[in-house]
Amino acid sequence: MNRDLTVDDLLFGGIALASGLLAAFALRILLRWLGGHADRTRWSGDDVIVHALRAVVPWAAVVGGVAGAAAVLPLTRTVQHTTNQVLTVLLIFVATVSVARVVTGLVRTVTQSRSGVAGSATIFVNITRILVLAIGFLVVLQTLGISIAPLLTALGVGGLAVALALQDTLANLFAGIHILASKTVQPGDYIKLSSGEEGYVEDINWRQTTIRNLSNNLIVLPNGQLAQANMTNFMRPEEQLTILVQVGVAYDSDLEHVERVTNEVIAETMNEVEGAVPDHEPIIRFHTFGDSRIGFTVILGVGEFSDQYRIKHEFIKRLHKRYRAEGIRIPAPARTVALQQASVGIPQQRTGEIEPGGLSPARFD
């Protein structure tokens, strides 16, 4: 347009801008009410959607108001085109960020709500976020009139070179995806590797797995090394497990009495100690005639791996106290060491006369 700016133009432009701001304020109130309603539902996905809409919808209304004001003002064609492009890019950017929040939030919600899926693993969330942002960036380039075909070709060639240069990183990435997809290891599991590392899996991201051991220290392990290691998962196929406690009693003990007393201590421990499994049937098995004792194994049920230390501690204390009260002896290992003295020939000594002030020199044959 080549005409001059008038009061009517300013009035209509102000009305358009005010309408956008008013619509943004009203939509924000509406979305806040929807957010409160979503908090009362059981599904957490609606919370994610409403939270993302609260970020994009008010801004969309503001952008619409600015676009309406620019349309009624007597701007030149170049300024009008530039203004529309800037507003479009801004709207696409806000929409892309909001869509990324929605999609990643839904991915996190789905993984947390299904058993056998690594809910707290960030690898799926990060990959999803990168894909959505990359698509939004390509849409912005296409909107600005920049052809993305050469860019995709360059990215394909460059991606091959990057893949060759980042073999270890990509190996860790795909190893992490393989670990999560195969459901062998998931955050929260207690694992032990053949190399000696053990602890609770905190997170599995695009490059590494974080393990927290019982001393509350973090062990950072590359996904490729984890995928190749021999590993024991104490949480699969279920968290409950059995532990073995070795006990021995003297040969003069009444084994029927020993078994009955041990079962009573097991029942007491299983019902009173936190982490024990009262429903687990106690098992006692005599198995060895040892050097100084009859050995047997007590099999106990625990809720999860770290509970075994507390349960063993309490069981041994109570069993020892009960055995002392019942007169059941737990003999200490006895070892007989035979000493063989070699025959050593000692020269015969003759005693000489004692001189005043000392001994006479000894004379030997």
Contacts 24+ apart (CB under 8 A), 141-145: 143/85, 143/88, 143/89, 143/92, 144/85, 144/89
Instruction: Give the pTM.
Output: 0.48
Looking at the DSSP assignment, which residues form a beta bridge with residue 192?
Answer: 198, 232
Q: Tell me what the mean pLDDT of segment 66-73 comes to.
A: 71
User: Which residues, other chains included, contact 52 with Cβ-Cβ below 8 Å and sequence gap of 6+?
Assistant: 98, 99, 101, 102, 105
Residue 269 has, within 13 A of its CA and on its CB side, a CA count of 31
Q: For 152-200, how does the pLDDT look when each residue is reduced to its tens digit (9 = 90+)?
A: 777 777 766 766 666 677 777 777 777 777 777 878 888 888 888 888 8
> What digits encode the pLDDT tens for the residues 26-59?
877 887 777 777 667 766 666 667 776 776 777 7
Q: Tell me which residue of 158, 100, 105, 161 sits closest to 134, measured CA to CA.
A: 100
Is it the case that residue 357 has pLDDT exceeding 60?
no
**How many whole angstroms separate alpha carbon 291 and alpha carbon 14?**
100
Residue 308 DSSP one-character state: H
pLDDT of amino acid 360? 45
Using alpha carbons only, how large is the chain's radius of gyration in Å?
40
